[in-house]
Amino acid sequence: MKAFAALPLALCTMLAACSPTAPQPVPLNDTLPKLDLQTLLPAVEENAHCKRAMDAEMLHGVGVALQGEQNYTEAKACLAMAAPSYTRALCFLATNVSLEEGDGPEVERKAFHYQAYAASQNDSCAEFGLYFVYRRGDEATPADPALAQRWLERSALHGNANAQRTLIQHYQQHGQPGTSYAWLKILDERGGAPELPALKAKLSAQQLSEGEALYAALNPQVPNRQQLKDEERHLLVAFYTGMVQLAHPTLFAGITPQQRHDTVKRAVDTALDQLELPTVGKVKAYIVVSQLAQRKDANADLLQNPQIVAVFRDDKLKSAEVLSRAKAIVDQAYN
């Protein structure tokens, strides 16, 4: 049962691949430093973009958007204010501290602690980050390949596609094609893995049997396709909310955070699932136009306006031009 050798002990025991008398590994959370979020987070001040009264989704989204604009100091403030209610913000804080402060043991320690706290809350982004920290080591954290592997597996079990792909490559490189097949099959069901048939064709009967048994044990533990889509959309709503807020700071004035969330989610769902807009800029433009139309007519349905649809589906138009033309159409169509 070589293919199961590197799996977490609970799964390994369930598959009868480990001795029941084997020593229990230390729970992963117990390998982390004991951290208090209030003392962990940096002391920050409000800025022009982020106020403590803002909700966590908005704070996180604006922080991510500012980080993308290389405004690392204000991004840090927004993300730190979001973190108590929005764990993923800590994963971005870990990246932000390196971008803002550079290299060195103290920076590495801060980044590690942000990831460690988020990983203790089952954030798959932070878990994947800990894999890299323990794989390579740094001045603040010694390398630990075995611990790195365990964090990689946990991130994969929590649905992180990058972690799953890394696991697949690891098992292929270490002569465990059955294990690689199991993870590739999981990935295929959740987003597509076109290389699955080729790998399956290379397996022996025993390897395929082991891979199918492992897949059957792993599959219920990994979030399904709909759960992953819901999580992705939740993060995308925050991302686009922040981008729109920076570009159009008065657009969401006068509505509650829940109303804003619902409005942005509907617009993102429409832009991605129905219009299939290909760029971030066009999705952002659709959110703006959708909100402007809602202000004029609460029952406005932009998909029922052929002119609007044509503008957004015109591949020759850039995002700024799409926004300008669509706003003009909304002004004429909704009074």
pLDDT reading at 20 higher than 90 = no
Position with higher pLDDT, 11 vs 60: 60
Distance in angstroms (rounded) separating the CA atoms of residues 255 and 96: 30
Average confidence score pLDDT of the chain: 93
Burial class (CB in 10 A: 0-12, 13-18, 19+), 256: exposed
pLDDT reading at 6 higher than 50 = no
Burial class (CB in 10 A: 0-12, 13-18, 19+), 52: exposed
State pLDDT tens for residues 251-309.
999 999 999 999 999 999 999 999 999 999 999 999 999 999 999 998 899 999 999 99
pLDDT reading at 7 higher than 70 = no
Q: Radius of gyration of the chain from Cα atoms?
A: 23
Distance in angstroms (rounded) separating the CA atoms of residues 308 and 315: 13
Distances (CA, A) of 317 to 287, 293, 307, 329: 17, 21, 14, 15
Q: Are 122 and 158 in contact (CB under 8 A)?
A: yes
Region 29-47: what's the mean pLDDT?
95
**Token digits for 108?**
């590495």
Q: What is the pLDDT of residue 281?
A: 97
Residue ranges of domains in the chain, CATH in brackets: 25-159 (1.25.40.10), 160-222 (no CATH), 248-333 (no CATH)
